[in-house]
Structure 1
Amino acid sequence: MSLLDDPGFTRDCIELTRTGAGAFLAALGKGAQALVPNEPMDIVEWIESHVVIPPEVSERAGPAEVTKLQAGILRAGQDHRTRQRTFKKPVRIGSSLMTAFEILYYAFHEGQPCIYYERSDGAAQDFHDKVLMPLILASPKLAPLLRPRTKAGVQDAWSDIILRNGAPIQMRSASNNSSFRAIKGSKVFADEVSSKEWRDLSKHSEGSKLGLARNRGQQFANFLLGVGSTPTNAGECVVSIELARSDRRRFHVPCPHCQVMIPLLPDIRRSESRSMKTGGGLRWTETDDRVDDAWYECQECDRHIEEVQKLDLLDKGEWVATSTTGEEGHAGFEIWGIYSSDPRSGFLDIARDHRKAQHDAGEMPRFVNTVLAQEFSRSPVAEVDPASLDARKVAYKLADGTPAEGPSWAIGAWAGIDAQQGSLDDQTRPPRLEMTIHVTGPNRRRAVVKHHVIAFREVVDRFTGEIEEVPVEPFTAACADIVWEILERGILLEDGRRLPIKRCAVDNGWRTDDAQKFCMLPKSKALGIVPVRGASSERAGNRAPLVPANLMVARSPKSGRQYLWVGTQTAKDIIRRILSIPVPGPESVEFSADLPEDYFRGLLQERLVEIRPGVRMWRPIDPKITAEPLDCLAYSLAMERMDVRKNPRLRKAIDEIAPEAVEAALVAQAEAAAAPVDPPPEPPADASPGKSGEAEGQAGDQTSGGVRFRIVQRVVPRPVPPVETEPAKAQKVRRRPKQTGGIGW
């Protein structure tokens, strides 16, 4: 009989191998768990029980915790009915962490192939190195599923990770078309889809890159496309387009006073006091040029929600779908910065950011995109009809009925001067200075009260007594006398006050040496004349601040001349925006009835042109026509901004809000929307600007140093009815004065 048949031998062998067999069976049992797909579980519960956040990923290190706001977004992706989830988000909301949590759950727990698309290879690798891999290594329950890094076998790279359960995690760049080929995944995440890298404008374009990403999972029954991005410019913001196709869910919180579930509206305004009711939104007040208080006003009960109540309200909130016309299976989520629990996203922080953006147009796109989470529109708010501006003309008068020059509510006056080369051979377009004066009052209301064209002056021949019209060359002594006289005279208001002109900007882009000498004269400095140039950074299509942050005149590194660098493109954005605001609303503009007839033609002579994808510049509609009124007003607004930032008392007076003016503006806006607007008459095809034949401009005779001069304002006659001109009463002789060598007399 052999030993194998001996029961005693068999018993002894079992006793000897009992410990090893137990260890083997236990290991086999653990290994078998990886061979069978895990049962799906609630993604939030799995994250909080499996993921540990290291300090290098977030300041909130430790076991992962998911807020109720984040939980709704994560669970929507886990819903088997959801094929696409779109998230339009602000910054500092934890979007990158949420995406990493989802990848970990689907790859580590369910064994699903996952693809993550970022703008570039560098951005995708940063996500791997700084977010995803640190989370895996810091989580004891996840790290064992990584394949060991040994010299033998296939090594994982940042772009391709294959787990021990066979699930691949692949990270790719959206800027490379090859990233959408020979790759598949049941869960595809597309981040920052509104960035330019997601738009393929080349001649080899293969269509929508988001569509190509969607095709990567068409073979899976449980496919999910997760789309997320901070908004960008209107018209090219992919996340806004995708969100419009969804059910558009908004996060509602219970008001602690009326208990009504309300969304926190992205409506931010400065208020005079806490007692002033302005409707739902974030409201703030300021003292001594600083934001000192902020609260949210409930749109249902008008009572105040305080910062200390926000986190408790967010814990009680819920997502509510607001659209019933979205695509089936498309869940959309939109929030803004007020929903962030980040320590630097409090009510006061958002209010200070809003105030900064209000006073610096260059900050506004960033604020709208990253805080309000809305697309920013650089295009005009609305097309401006010259006829609507003509209806805003006001004939200012004193109490006795005699003409005045400006409204009684004006607080400050500023001027802007633009120099034009022109031609001495063309009387309608001679070398000249054009000057606009505007005034500003409470509610930031403005009125353009004067526009001068300084080109000719009238002198009386002392021998014959005849009136002779002679040109006034820009920046000569005669020209300086006229400019100084206008600035010294100020603006006569309806209440009898004479409002001084605080500052005057002078364009130094032409005849630069003469312009610099004129601006540096003691009398020019005493009258607040400032040499200005358009900011060079705007030539590439960027937007520069309206005035420099330090409000200082800077020396040009090339020429050594001193200028105040003005953001002219930013100024024109502001002008077109405020022209669309109904009078007498805050920031609205009205016009004096004494302005030249062709003033609005020059004011609206430019339009936004896309010089390259996503970059727009103001360009002339007709290259033969210049836009001096627009340029002059841009410089004048820069001077206002300069004084307002320097003078807190002036800023407080201008920022004062009058509720009755706001109400009147809303009424005017409603009436304008209801009333039909006749299209403006088209000018005749043969009419050329400035060629008015014998039609004379409006002139105001003044005296300066005993010499009579005339400020000529060019007038383009109305095409209908035709104007019959009268013969001149006196023969006018145009003489070219002797050159004085500029201002250096």
Structure 2
Amino acid sequence: MEKKTYRLFKKIFETLKPPPDLTLSQWADKYRRLSSEASAEPGKWRTDKCPYQREIMDAITNINIKKVVVMSAAQVGKTDAMILNPIGYYVHYEPAPIMVIQPTIKLAEGFSKERLSPMIRDTPVLTERINDGSRSSGNTIEQKVFPGGHITMVGANSPVGLRSRPIRILLCDEIDAYPASAGSEGDPLLLASKRQTTFWNKKQIDISTPTIKGMSRIEVEYENSSKGEWNVPCPHCGELQPLKWANVKFDKENLNKIEYICEKCGAIASEVEWKEKFTEGKFVHENAENPVKGFHLNTLGSTMTTWREVVEKFLLANEERKKGNVELMKVWINTEMGETWEEEGEKLEEDDLIKRCQMYNCEVPQGVMYLTAGVDTQDDRFEVEVVGWGVEHESWGIKYSVLYGNLDQEEVWQDLDLFLDQTFTRQDGIKMKIRCTCMDSGGHYTNKVYKFCKQRFNRNIFAIKGGSESTAAYIQKPTKNNREKAYLFTLGVDTGKSLLMGRLKVEEEGPGYCHFPRDPGTGYDKKYFEGLTSEKKVLRYKKGRPYFTWELAKAHKRNEALDCRNYASAAIEITGLPLKKQDEQQQQQKKTVKRRRRRTGGIA
């Protein structure tokens, strides 16, 4: 009898005994299993494959740390290590109410179905605790229940989800993509953090790839943290240092050999040699005493991608930047370097562009492949610019005209029609017509603009209006939701102006460069260049959130020239015409013919 009682109590005490202390990285190495849907190497988790993840993960489960901030490049395994692993740890080891915030409800649902459910299915200790496949369990896409807690997944755009219930573990993913306000209820991060007030052992993890300097949430969080930077030892001298892009050495003509120069001893070593030392790396914290632990690393320090991939993306972005398109470089800085992009707020000076003017000695220079036009509509006039386009968006200003008249009368509309229907002669004698026109319809004689454009649909004359979002796509899908049922394109005018300003800064003739004529009668006088450079990009705040917008500089009152060039630029994008060298176009045409033959059984 005594032996039976002893065995019974022994079993009870073993069951009630608290689990041994494990850090998050130790838990992951012991229990976590990677799913085939989310990993090229499914199976047992190994923190040593990505050494930089260890300190971050262990900070998350350190009882003395309430908040962890991770500002990093894209390909470092953030979701698995810093969102999914903590979920697994707290479900299995320290049950608690958990909330995962994604930028939108749709992304939250995708995270649940594509990342969380496979982890639950393939990690046995989680399968035992979460009955994810049973409808009777009460589990849904947005919520998983387990003994002692639940996992709730919400979108930052959902005020109801953010204020629904008390939360101890708050996992905030890609916070730079969160809206400024959850509906009308304020900052989503603040709303969610209020759910933690009842817990003494609360934990918040903020994770994101950064975006624009001065507008990035994660940058603000990181700057107010311990500011830990991932450092690795030099293969030669052993000195710890962060990996910086400036020290990467490569020949763009031969990317088979990419090396890194040590900042301490100057020795040059290969990627393989540096990465062999990653297991000896560590985060060096600028403000080590700060209770908020912050971590930063770029893709050079990642084991999940190669330096060659980083360099290839840089070269592509740099080529686009030379053409005046900085968008790819912005993405590269954010996603590869894990740094904010600093927007240039200054404006161009008209005198710099006036100096660029040259004598064409012809209507249309030889490099022009297509003509487009932009029309700005005012109460007493139309202002029109015709622009020529060459290889890779090299452009030539052809003609700028102001057509005065009473827009209530038909005469000025007829003048505009004749202007847009005229023929221009290229230097080699080729006759050219305007291939596409974008005409402003916002605020001045809107219905008459719609009617004018609809009647000239066969000449690709389209009504446009400016979008209100500063980050809207340049060209958006056209609609016919107007009285005249005319095609109407909504333009992201701020996006277009940023693209145009980038091109105007290109200083070497070639891709993206903007030419202007000095020839008499073309309309490119000082007033035109004052209008073209009339606006500057400025930082403004709305409901406490920063955003960039284009505004008139105090010295200027008119911006019609800028709008006309913006509309003419949109017109070439709407046409979809190829802006490539002739031999490249021919190769593309041959490929198109081959594809057609394959689809049609040999008929081109």
- Using structure 2 for the length normalisation, give the TM-score: 0.67
2-side partners of 1:212 and 1:440: how far apart?
A: 51
Residue in structure 2 matching 1:105, options 89, 93, 115: 89
Residue in structure 2 matched with residue 473 of structure 1 by the alignment: 415
2:506 touches 2:512 (CA, 8 Å); kept in 1? yes
Residue in structure 2 matched with residue 213 of structure 1 by the alignment: 192
Matched residue SS, 1:194:
helix
Residue in structure 2 matched with residue 335 of structure 1 by the alignment: 297
2-side partners of 1:560 and 1:363: how far apart?
A: 36
User: Is 1:574 paired with 2:492?
Assistant: no
Residues 454-533 of structure 1: pairs in structure 2 closer than 5 A: 473-476=415-418, 484-485=424-425, 487-488=426-427, 506-507=436-437, 509=439, 511-512=452-453, 533=462
Residues 236-247 of structure 1: pairs in structure 2 closer than 5 A: 236-247=215-226
Change (3 A) 1:318 1:212: same
2-side partners of 1:502 and 1:45: how far apart?
A: 71
Change (3 A) 1:307 1:604: same
1:419 touches 1:474 (CA, 8 Å); kept in 2? no
Residue in structure 2 matching 1:88, options 71, 91, 99: 71
2-side partners of 1:563 and 1:638: how far apart?
A: 12
Residue in structure 2 matching 1:601, options 505, 526, 530: 530
Structure 2: unaligned runs, 5 residues or longer: 405-411, 440-448, 586-604
User: Is 1:434 paired with 2:415?
Assistant: no
User: Is 1:118 paired with 2:101?
Assistant: yes
Aligned residue type for 1:473? D
2-side partners of 1:648 and 1:46: how far apart?
A: 59
Residue in structure 1 matched with residue 401 of structure 2 by the alignment: 453
User: Is 1:631 paired with 2:564?
Assistant: yes
Deviation by residue 1:350-381 (Cα, 9 ceiling, x = unmatched): 3587479768777677666555545567xx62
User: Is 1:52 paired with 2:33?
Assistant: yes
Residues 212-231 of structure 1: pairs in structure 2 closer than 5 A: 212-218=191-197, 220-231=199-210
Residue in structure 2 matched with residue 417 of structure 1 by the alignment: 373
1-side partners of 2:553 and 2:499: how far apart?
A: 19
1:546 touches 1:570 (CA, 8 Å); kept in 2? no
2:262 touches 2:268 (CA, 8 Å); kept in 1? no
2-side partners of 1:454 and 1:215: how far apart?
A: 58
Residues 312-351 of structure 1: pairs in structure 2 closer than 5 A: 312=276, 314-321=278-285, 323-324=286-287, 328-342=290-304, 346-347=309-310, 350-351=313-314
Residue in structure 1 matched with residue 44 of structure 2 by the alignment: 63
Residues 365-384 of structure 1: pairs in structure 2 closer than 5 A: 370-374=335-339, 381-384=344-347
Matched residue SS, 1:572:
helix
Change (3 A) 1:303 1:579: farther
Greater mean alpha carbon deviation, residues 366-375 or residues 610-619: 610-619
Bigger Cα Rg: 1
* Number of residue-to-residue matches in the alignment: 541
User: Is 1:389 paired with 2:350?
Assistant: yes
Matched residue SS, 1:59:
coil
Deviation by residue 1:171-196 (Cα, 9 ceiling, x = unmatched): 242423464355142x3322233334
User: Is 1:195 paired with 2:159?
Assistant: no
2-side partners of 1:56 and 1:447: how far apart?
A: 46
Aligned residue type for 2:205? G
1:395 touches 1:593 (CA, 8 Å); kept in 2? no
Residues 573-592 of structure 1: pairs in structure 2 closer than 5 A: 573-579=498-504
1-side partners of 2:281 and 2:432: how far apart?
A: 52
Matched residue SS, 1:635:
helix
Deviation by residue 1:437-492 (Cα, 9 ceiling, x = unmatched): 68999xx9x79776543769xxxxxxxxxxxxx9993453x8866x524x4489xx
Aligned residue type for 2:30? S
2-side partners of 1:261 and 1:58: how far apart?
A: 31
2-side partners of 1:303 and 1:475: how far apart?
A: 68
Structure 1 residue 243: deviation in Å?
1.8
Change (3 A) 1:627 1:281: farther
Aligned residue type for 1:381? E
Residues 659-674 of structure 1: pairs in structure 2 closer than 5 A: none
Deviation by residue 1:528-558 (Cα, 9 ceiling, x = unmatched): xxx575788968877556799xxxxx9x999
2-side partners of 1:96 and 1:151: how far apart?
A: 27
1:381 touches 1:580 (CA, 8 Å); kept in 2? no
1-side partners of 2:191 and 2:208: how far apart?
A: 17
Structure 1: unaligned runs, 5 residues or longer: 1-13, 268-278, 398-403, 457-469, 491-499, 520-530, 549-553, 651-745
Matched residue SS, 2:176:
coil
Aligned residue type for 1:65? R
Matched residue SS, 1:82:
coil
2-side partners of 1:440 and 1:29: how far apart?
A: 78
Aligned residue type for 1:596? D
Residue in structure 1 matched with residue 55 of structure 2 by the alignment: 72
2-side partners of 1:257 and 1:411: how far apart?
A: 57
Aligned residue type for 1:335? L
For the aligned residues, what is the CA RMSD? Answer: 5.7
2-side partners of 1:306 and 1:453: how far apart?
A: 59
Greater mean alpha carbon deviation, residues 615-624 or residues 306-315: 615-624
Structure 1 residue 581: deviation in Å?
7.1
1:76 touches 1:85 (CA, 8 Å); kept in 2? yes
2-side partners of 1:305 and 1:405: how far apart?
A: 52
Structure 1 residue 384: deviation in Å?
1.1
Residue in structure 1 matching 2:24, options 36, 39, 43: 43
Aligned residue type for 2:531? G
2:373 touches 2:387 (CA, 8 Å); kept in 1? yes
Deviation by residue 1:177-223 (Cα, 9 ceiling, x = unmatched): 464355142x3322233334572351xx2x54323433444455543
Residues 658-737 of structure 1: pairs in structure 2 closer than 5 A: none
Aligned residue type for 1:435? V
Structure (1 or 2) with the greater helix fraction: 2
Structure 1 residue 304: deviation in Å?
7.2
User: Is 1:28 paired with 2:7?
Assistant: no
Change (3 A) 1:293 1:562: farther
Change (3 A) 1:592 1:234: same
2-side partners of 1:189 and 1:471: how far apart?
A: 59
- Using structure 1 for the length normalisation, give the TM-score: 0.56
2-side partners of 1:193 and 1:130: how far apart?
A: 20
Aligned residue type for 1:213? A
Matched residue SS, 2:21:
coil
Aligned residue type for 1:195? A
1:362 touches 1:543 (CA, 8 Å); kept in 2? no
Structure 1 residue 598: deviation in Å?
0.4
